[in-house]
Amino acid sequence: MSNDQPPPGEPPEDDPFLKKPRQPPPSEGSGPAGSDGSPYGSSPGSPYGSPYGGGDGPPPGDGNAYGGNQYGGADPFAGMPPLAPFGKRFTARVADALIIFIPLAILSLLAGSWDSSANGGGGWIDFTDQVNTGTQWLWSLISVVAYVGYDTLMTKKYGQTVGKRWMRLRVAMLNNGAIPDTGASLLRAVVLWVPALVCCTVLWWIILIVSILVSRPYKQGLHDKAARTVVVSAAQ
């Protein structure tokens, strides 16, 4: 006599019905999906109201306003605010650069880092000598610490630097819209600032600008891709 039934008690561990995920019930009615009235629904703890691809689609008739879903499945832009315009991102970055540069420049002058009177005031020759003796490398290190530290701390704590706050922008994790943690914030800041401050300032900014302009669909610069972040418009 065959015994096809499991013994009484707990179901076996390999029971496929035990492991089958429960499907959410279909939504009813045509009212707002979220309890807060948002057409994209709501998700506790997510600054987007609903994480990307969280299952809450855009309003009826809106479709995918960002050019289609290249990954298949749920709409990756569901619940996501508009992507930040490049002009606002550029303005915010210039503001942040000046916020750090101006105090560093003042400190450098007060510390007498570039002494034009040394060696008889030889101009460019004296400047080169000071670089070769390590003065410029010291200030490059100080600059790296200042820029990377500022960007990391502000992004980790607020999701915004001062420049982004002025432009009403913010940084968020691409997968769920959360404020980046310490690791993501630090990686993003390092990729953004270190090459520009250490070796190739103009070239690196050109590379970053082009990477943002050609990136689809999320307009991510190389620093965003490294940290898996995206820059979006903040609430007004």
Could you tell me if 65 and 166 lie in one domain? no
Q: Which domain holds residue 138?
A: 86-233
* Total domain count, the chain: 2
Could you tell me if 200 and 226 lie in one domain? yes
Could you tell me if 173 and 195 lie in one domain? yes
pLDDT at residue 45, as a whole number: 43
Phi-psi region of 219 (alpha: psi -120 to 50; beta: other; left: phi over 0): left
Task: List C-alpha distances in Å: 107 to 102, 138, 142.
Answer: 9, 13, 11
pLDDT at residue 3, as a whole number: 52
pLDDT at residue 109, as a whole number: 85
Could you tell me if 63 and 116 lie in one domain? no
- Report if residue 63 sits inside a domain: yes
In contact, 87 and 107? CB cutoff 8 Å: no
DSSP code for 120: G
Last residue of a domain, one of 64, 80, 96: 80
Could you tell me if 94 and 146 lie in one domain? yes
Could you tell me if 169 and 225 lie in one domain? yes
Could you tell me if 170 and 201 lie in one domain? yes
pLDDT at residue 145, as a whole number: 96
Angle separating helix axes 182-198 and 201-214, nearest 10 degrees: 130
Last residue of a domain, one of 34, 53, 80: 80
Kindly report the CA angle at 228 between 47 and 144, in degrees rounded to 5?
Answer: 105
In contact, 98 and 147? CB cutoff 8 Å: no
d(CA 89, CA 233): 10
Could you tell me if 103 and 149 lie in one domain? yes
pLDDT at residue 5, as a whole number: 54
- Report if residue 11 sits inside a domain: no
Determine the 3-state secondary structure of 150 from DSSP.
Answer: helix
Per-10-residue mean pLDDT of the chain, 236 residues long, equals 52 42 46 38 45 37 37 62 95 96 90 54 45 69 95 97 97 94 98 93 96 95 97 85
- Report if residue 1 sits inside a domain: no
Last residue of a domain, one of 33, 51, 80: 80
- Report if residue 97 sits inside a domain: yes
pLDDT at residue 138, as a whole number: 83
DSSP code for 119: G
Could you tell me if 92 and 203 lie in one domain? yes
Alpha-helix residue ranges (DSSP H) falling in 15-64: 16-19
DSSP code for 159: S
d(CA 178, CA 192): 20
d(CA 58, CA 41): 9
Could you tell me if 136 and 197 lie in one domain? yes
pLDDT at residue 140, as a whole number: 84
d(CA 151, CA 191): 11
pLDDT at residue 113, as a whole number: 57
- Report if residue 176 sits inside a domain: yes
Q: Is the peptide bond before 26 cis (omega within 30 degrees of 0)?
A: no
- Report if residue 171 sits inside a domain: yes
Could you tell me if 61 and 157 lie in one domain? no
**Where is 231: in which H helix or E strand?**
strand 229-233
pLDDT at residue 115, as a whole number: 52
Could you tell me if 159 and 194 lie in one domain? yes
Place of tokens 């953004």: 192
- Report if residue 156 sits inside a domain: yes
- Report if residue 194 sits inside a domain: yes
pLDDT at residue 86, as a whole number: 97
**Where is 10: in which H helix or E strand?**
none
